Amino acid sequence: MPPIGHDQWTDEVRQILASFSVPFSQYGLNGDEAEKDKLSPILSTVLQSPALARVYFPFADYILRKSSLEPRHTRIIILRVAWLWRFEVEWAQHASIAVRDKWLSEDEVKRITLGPAGEGWSDLDVLLLVAVDQMHQSSNIDGETWAALNNELNLQQMVDLTFTIGSYVMAGMYMNCFALPLQENQKGFEAFQ
């Protein structure tokens, strides 16, 4: 599935792109035609279905930037999802962003490959990694982990945790199914094994 090309931008696509705020401009989503070559293939592929993009982009924006979880915790969850489900493009994109924005160090990104057994995690970090691992194994979080999370997070954060896991599984699946390539200078799985 190819990303939408600039020559395919319709007025509807331009309207969708222009509806995004400045923080999304790093992905070429501020509607500026000068940024046409910066539009991320991860997002521009979704634009093959403008109706889907119109609802998916705000949802993705909420999960990544506006949820009640700490940004560091969101990145830990995303990267563990990407590692376990083998979503290399998702991994490469978010590993570079996490380090660039100083949410995680390079060593912490590498440690995510070890999961909760890796040394140096806080108690909450471990619980988040365990939650992702359990969702991967059984599509559920067991009662003991849920109770421990409930001692660390409020109800909104627990809802956001489960939706973050699920939304990045969905995103990674579409990236894999559409055979999106790694972008130049991105580090794939081999760099972390």
Per-residue pLDDT tens over the stretch 18-73: 776 544 555 555 555 655 556 778 888 998 999 999 999 889 989 998 999 999 99
User: How far is Cα 4 from Cα 80, in angstroms, rounded to an integer?
Assistant: 29
Which two structure tokens, joined as six digits, stand for 138? 């059984």
Q: Give the pLDDT score at 22.
A: 46
Mean pLDDT of 106-111: 94
* Three-state DSSP class for residue 5: coil
**Burial group, residue 83, by CB count within 10 angstroms (0-12, 13-18, 19+):** buried
Q: Which of 183, 182, 178 is nearest to 37 (CA)?
A: 183
Q: CATH number of the domain at 67-192, please?
A: 1.20.1290.10
Q: Is the pLDDT of residue 17 over 90?
A: no
Residue that wins the pLDDT comparison between 156 and 29: 156
Q: What is the pTM of this model?
A: 0.89
Residue that wins the pLDDT comparison between 35 and 181: 181
105 CB-near residues (< 8 Å, 6+ apart): 99
User: How far is Cα 57 from Cα 65, in angstroms, rounded to an integer?
Assistant: 12
What are the respective helix, strand and coil percentages of the chain, to the nearest 5? 70, 0, 30
**What is the chain's mean pLDDT, rounded?**
88
User: How far is Cα 13 from Cα 23, in angstroms, rounded to an integer?
Assistant: 19
User: How far is Cα 57 from Cα 12, in angstroms, rounded to an integer?
Assistant: 14
Which two structure tokens, joined as six digits, stand for 1? 């599935």
Which two structure tokens, joined as six digits, stand for 59? 């949802």
Residue that wins the pLDDT comparison between 102 and 42: 102
Q: Give the pLDDT score at 34.
A: 58
Residue type (1 letter), 115: G
User: How far is Cα 109 from Cα 37, in angstroms, rounded to an integer?
Assistant: 28
Residue that wins the pLDDT comparison between 5 and 155: 155
User: How far is Cα 36 from Cα 99, in angstroms, rounded to an integer?
Assistant: 25
Mean pLDDT of 95-115: 94
User: How far is Cα 8 from Cα 25, in angstroms, rounded to an integer?
Assistant: 20
Mean pLDDT of 124-149: 98
Residue 184: band (very low, low, confident or very high) from pLDDT cuts 50, 70, 90: confident
Contact between 190 and 100 (Cβ < 8 Å): no
Every domain of the chain with CATH number 1.20.1290.10 lies at 67-192
Q: How far apart are the first and last CA of the chain?
A: 29
Which two structure tokens, joined as six digits, stand for 142? 């067991």
